Structure 1
Amino acid sequence: MGAGASAVQLAVALTAYFIVETVTEDDYGVPPSAFGFLCLLVAAPLIVPVAGLLFAIALPVPVHKVAAWAVRRAGGPSPRRTLLLPAAFTAFAAAFAALWAVPLALLGAGYLTAWAWLTAGTVPPLLAMARYRRAEAARETPYTRLGIWFHAFGATVLLVPATVGALALATMGGVIEEYEPPQLTAGRLAGEWEGPDEALIQLDADGGAALIDAPMGPEGEGCQGVGDWSIDEEEYGYRDAVRVTGCGDEQFWLIAGTDSRPELSVLVGDPDVGDVRIFLPRTP
């Protein structure tokens, strides 16, 4: 049961993560790829069960065995042991997660963050496993593996749409704040903006512009030139952009980032799979 419960939890978590990231993060004017989403839908039924199985082997299954053994060793009447089990699950989940968080921290994740997420992700499958153990004892026959995965599939079919609906309501209610690009004045945009490979855009206060190895055109060739710039308010899609000339055709740079960390971005290449180049204000 641990693998099935872990798979359900993973499906719900991935759905929530995808929606929250889509709503709260800047897409730089590039919507999610329809082809990529289709591939995800096709691959998810294969990947999620395997990932759930691996996670169950790593944490919920051994934690359940150790916690159940510890509660039995503590003795006492059965109702008391039943009440102790959730606390034992949480304690041993935290202990096992502390060990598994070490390799994740070595890979770059924050140790405390990894530990907290692993602990939180281990407890629900443990509770589901305990619930199934009690149900098996009541019916006096164990569930088959096919039956367990059938229940997991049914739970996924119910919980994933429920997650989508709940997050949609949270977004409409303002609990989850949608990303809004900063509204920058010409005074804040004026200055030097640095990009990849030492590319530079200089926006002068008088409307002049100078470009050094700036990506221009559909292929993003590096360009050097002198021209002018201006703000196009919500004329490029749904958000403000900076219109820059100096290398042939004019180029539109989206005003992106946040008010405290503004960015200028431009899409190079195909609109679905192109490369987004990001420029930041040059620091002295």
Structure 2
Amino acid sequence: MGGIELLFSLVMAAVVGPFVALLLGAAQAVAVAVPPVWLGRTLAGRYGGPALLWALGVLGAGAAVLAGGMAALGSDFLTVWAWSAGLALLPLVAAELWADGDFTQGRAWRELAAIVTVPASVMAVGTASAHALGPFDAPRPSPRLGAHGYVGTWSGGGGWLRLEVGGRAVVTRVPYQQDMEERTCTGEGTWSFREARADDSEGVDLSLPCSPQWLHSWEVAGTADRPELFLLIGDPDYADVRVLRKHEGVSR
């Protein structure tokens, strides 16, 4: 990205960002604050007890339903529940406290929207920043496979890589980078095990027949049971990731 494009992006983010945050905050207020407050006050009127506690119970139950659905897709239940309930907590409390006043006058409804939108906007900006900085899950250490752990067949994205004992590598449409461009290679080359360093994970260095003058470094990720090799393609700040996964039981 050139200097002009970067400057334009920063200016647009500064001008449009606050309006987008307010819009997201208002949407969040309507979606997660007002319904639990309304239902909580309804339940409190029928069964008694503080309306705020009923509203918090409704919020927790709704967050649990969302977390259960996400957990079925592989996410951590407790993490999703804590984030979804936590992001809605401040707008909900603000709405409930304001609802203790006159909840029927039009002026009260307008001020309710304002008092909910402001904290919700803060939550929305925080969430967007967290997404931009990285995933919610804590980073996991890369697996340590040792040299023998890389022997076998790896594939992904239409490419195949077979690493053999003795350092022979057979590649089929395996991606690599040359002159900041992505290319693919088919043929035979060599590989060597690269031990982990202080600022880098372990992995393998490939010498490909299509580019013998360069070593192409693949780093390991995933888990010891399901390891992956990944390679960054392009500008390091905006790189694409190419991933190869090891076939279970295939080694030689």
- TM tier relative to shorter chain: 0.5 to 0.7
Match of 1:15 in 2: none
Match of 2:19 in 1: 46
The answer as to 2:228 corresponding to 1:268 is no
Structure 1 residues 86 and 46, CA gap change in structure 2 (3 angstroms): same
Kept in 2, the 8 Å contact 1:236–1:252? The answer is: no
CA distance in 2, matches of 1:241, 1:211: 16
Task: Find the partner of 1:56 among 6, 29, 46.
Answer: 29
| Structure 1: runs of 5+ lacking an equivalent | 1-33, 75-80, 165-175
Q: How does 1:16-165 map to 2 (within 5 A)?
A: 42=14, 44-74=17-47, 83-93=49-59, 97=62, 122-134=88-100, 145=111, 148=114, 152=118, 156=122
Residue type matched to 1:49 in 2?
A: L
Tell me the number of residue pairs that the alignment of Structure 1 and Structure 2 aligns. Answer: 220
CA RMSD, Structure 1 to Structure 2 (Å): 4.6
The answer as to 2:205 corresponding to 1:243 is yes
Task: Find the partner of 1:257 among 222, 226, 229.
Answer: 222
Match of 1:170 in 2: none
SS of 1:183's equivalent in the other structure is coil
The answer as to 2:178 corresponding to 1:213 is no
Structure 1 residues 39 and 251, CA gap change in structure 2 (3 angstroms): farther
Match of 1:231 in 2: 193
CA distance in 2, matches of 1:144, 1:185: 63
CA deviation vs aligned residue, 1:16-55 (integer Å, no higher than 9, x gap): xxxxxxxxxxxxxxxxxx99x9699746533332122123
Kept in 2, the 8 Å contact 1:186–1:205? The answer is: no
CA deviation vs aligned residue, 1:90-149 (integer Å, no higher than 9, x gap): 444467x49x96xx96xx968x96x95766654543322222345789xxx969749955
Q: CA deviation at 1:84?
A: 2.4
Task: Find the partner of 1:200 among 157, 160, 163.
Answer: 160
CA deviation vs aligned residue, 1:252-277 (integer Å, no higher than 9, x gap): 11122222221111112222222210
Kept in 2, the 8 Å contact 1:234–1:240? The answer is: yes
**Which is richer in helix?**
1
Match of 2:150 in 1: 189
What TM-score do you get using the length of structure 2 for normalisation?
A: 0.65
CA distance in 1, matches of 2:196, 2:10: 31
CA distance in 1, matches of 2:73, 2:200: 35
Match of 2:134 in 1: none
Kept in 2, the 8 Å contact 1:89–1:123? The answer is: no
Match of 1:180 in 2: 141
CA distance in 2, matches of 1:125, 1:72: 22
CA distance in 2, matches of 1:143, 1:58: 16
**Which is richer in strand?**
2
Identity between Structure 1 and Structure 2 (%): 23
Kept in 2, the 8 Å contact 1:210–1:246? The answer is: no
